[in-house]
């Protein structure tokens, strides 16, 4: 395969789904122009790689990314082009080079948003240089068998709370997962039908003002108790004809309401509702017993190790570390030593390069954990994580509600991939309720 070089790298300031600036990168090679747009989170953990934001309070309230854009065009781009990297060799050399060029442990030198934009665009350029789809390139970078693929079960955030909405609900996300579907396409159909039924249900119960949506496309009705949200989902399942076809995932994002070694479930209301760690654990166990919950993400704060460890000893569902792990190998190893969780939430912008994210996923698999690929609340119309989830073979992905272009584009891409694989006669499985074990299935990981 003849070598393919980078001809040019350009960057620009564009907007994410919350109307805040983000970085767009274009990499040009002899194969064409390859574009990527960087996501950004609202509920960010303290251990994430550092986005570079401008200090100009007169432009976007100080949230501009022109300095990061400048770093791409004047530092990273020229250095990479001078390095004469061969894109057919893969992404690792490119990402390693940028990490060394930045020279900081958290990418605060050049900005994780600058570095990640180049990494994502170069991943697409590398895939084109090898003449394979992006998901296949990612699978090869993972060291996976590409003779067959596992499609991810999509987890749709249909009820929002926490910092993603304006209601009094402390828990940030209530997700529905179509585990009873036979394909990702059918699963997306089921979820869209439940979503529409949920909308009608909310209008009946609370009026049309209740169907305003949060950052990730989920509804934010005037509720405050987790059981209220879960009861609404169960009724929507029944009314849509999909009872028994879904499991539920919850992301409390508890670091947002952890203070003074306790959890205040009334942090968005006028009165506090403080619970101890033990009381929070009891609440989660009660909910798991009452509802078809298959996944809990960040039920405790990012440094509340004792609570994580104690809960993991008795937790019967997937226990996912997001802020706890930050897609970071150091945090993953610490969590493994303490036996604090059994799954990794994979967010590429938490760590800042695609290569490091894949290394985190491989480490999680080595530990016998699950991997759950995730979007961010500040997203774009870039469908990158759909290919990422298929390439990693993780078995499940979350990208918000079946609503809003920046969310739907990921689900549409998944359906396109599934159709393409079937048309090519490639092995393509939908793991359903076995999404946790999907990464260990011989059809993909070999």
Residues within the annotated binding site for substrate? 164, 173, 297, 322, 374-377, 398
Q: Which residue ranges are tagged as binding site for Mg(2+)?
A: 251, 297, 322
Contact 401, 373 (CB under 8 A): no
Tokens of 156: 């749709």
Strand order from edge to edge, sheet including 274-275:
258-259, 262-264, 274-275
Tokens of 24: 């767009």
Catalytic choice (44, 268, 277, 347): 347
Contact 341, 33 (CB under 8 A): no
Q: Minimal CA–CA distance to 274: which of 150, 121, 170, 425?
A: 170
Positive/negative CA dihedral, 168, 408, 46, 335: positive
Strands of 205-339, DSSP E: 247-251, 258-259, 262-264, 274-275, 293-297, 318-321
Contact 140, 148 (CB under 8 A): no
Query: CB neighbours (10 Å) of residue 32?
Result: 11
Catalytic annotation present for 228: no
Distance from the Cα of residue 193 to its chain's centroid? 23
Catalytic annotation present for 44: no
Buried b (16+ CB within 10 A) or exposed e, 296-332: bbbbbbbebeebbebbbeebebbbbbbbbbbbbeebb
φ/ψ (deg, to 5) at 417: -65, -45
Catalytic choice (48, 136, 197, 216): 216
DSSP run (H or E) holding 66:
helix 66-71
φ/ψ (deg, to 5) at 27: -110, 125
List Cα–Cα distances, 339 to 105, 145, 258, in angstroms. Answer: 25, 29, 21
DSSP run (H or E) holding 410:
helix 405-423
Buried b (16+ CB within 10 A) or exposed e, 419-428: eebeeeeeeb
Contact 320, 298 (CB under 8 A): yes
Tokens of 424: 């090519």
Beta bridge partners of 264: 274
Number of H helices, E strands in the chain: 15, 16
Q: Which residue ranges are tagged as binding site?
A: 164, 173, 251, 297, 322, 374-377, 398
Active site residues: 216, 347
């Amino acid at each position: 395969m003849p070598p393919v070089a980078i001809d040019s790298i350009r960057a620009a300031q564009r907007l994410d789904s919350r109307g805040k600036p983000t970085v767009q990168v274009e990499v040009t090679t002899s194969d064409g122009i390859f574009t990527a747009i960087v996501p950004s989170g609202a509920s960010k953990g303290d251990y994430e790689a550092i986005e570079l934001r401008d200090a100009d309070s007169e432009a976007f309230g100080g949230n501009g990314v022109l300095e990061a854009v400048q770093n791409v065009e004047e530092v990273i781009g020229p250095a990479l082009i001078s390095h004469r990297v061969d894109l057919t060799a893969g992404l690792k050399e490119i990402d390693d080079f940028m990490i060394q060029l930045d020279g900081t442990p958290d990418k605060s030198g050049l900005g994780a948003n600058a570095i990640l934009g180049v990494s994502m665009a170069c991943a697409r350029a590398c895939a084109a240089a090898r003449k394979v789809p992006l998901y296949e390139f990612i699978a090869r970078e993972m060291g996976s068998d590409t003779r067959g693929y596992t499609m991810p079960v999509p987890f749709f955030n249909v009820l929002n709370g926490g910092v993603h909405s304006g209601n009094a609900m402390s828990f940030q996300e209530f997700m529905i997962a179509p585990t009873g579907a036979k394909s990702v396409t059918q699963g997306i159909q089921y979820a869209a039908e439940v979503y529409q039924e949920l909308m009608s249900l909310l209008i009946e119960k609370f009026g049309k003002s209740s169907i305003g949506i949060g950052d990730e496309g989920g509804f934010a009705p005037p509720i405050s108790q987790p059981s209220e949200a879960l009861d609404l989902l169960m009724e929507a399942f029944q009314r849509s004809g999909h009872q028994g076809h879904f499991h539920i995932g919850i992301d409390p994002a508890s670091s947002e309401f952890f203070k003074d070694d306790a959890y205040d479930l009334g942090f968005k209301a006028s009165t506090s509702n403080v619970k101890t760690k033990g009381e929070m654990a009891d609440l989660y166990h009660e909910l798991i017993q009452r509802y078809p919950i298959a996944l809990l993400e960040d039920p405790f704060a990012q440094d509340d190790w004792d609570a994580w460890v104690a809960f993991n000893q008795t937790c019967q569902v997937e226990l996912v570390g997001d802020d706890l792990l930050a897609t970071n190998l150091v945090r993953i190893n610490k969590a493994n030593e303490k036996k604090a969780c059994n799954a990794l939430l994979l967010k590429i912008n938490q760590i800042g390069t695609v290569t490091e994210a894949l290394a985190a996923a491989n480490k999680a698999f080595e530990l016998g954990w699950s991997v759950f690929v995730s979007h961010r609340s500040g997203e774009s119309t870039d469908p990158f994580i759909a290919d990422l989830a298929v390439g990693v073979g993780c078995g499940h992905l979350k990208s918000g509600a079946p609503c809003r272009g920046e969310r739907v584009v990921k689900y549409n891409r998944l359906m396109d991939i599934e159709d393409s694989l079937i048309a090519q006669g490639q092995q393509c499985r939908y793991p359903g309720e076995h999404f946790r074990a999907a990464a260990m299935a011989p059809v993909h990981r070999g």
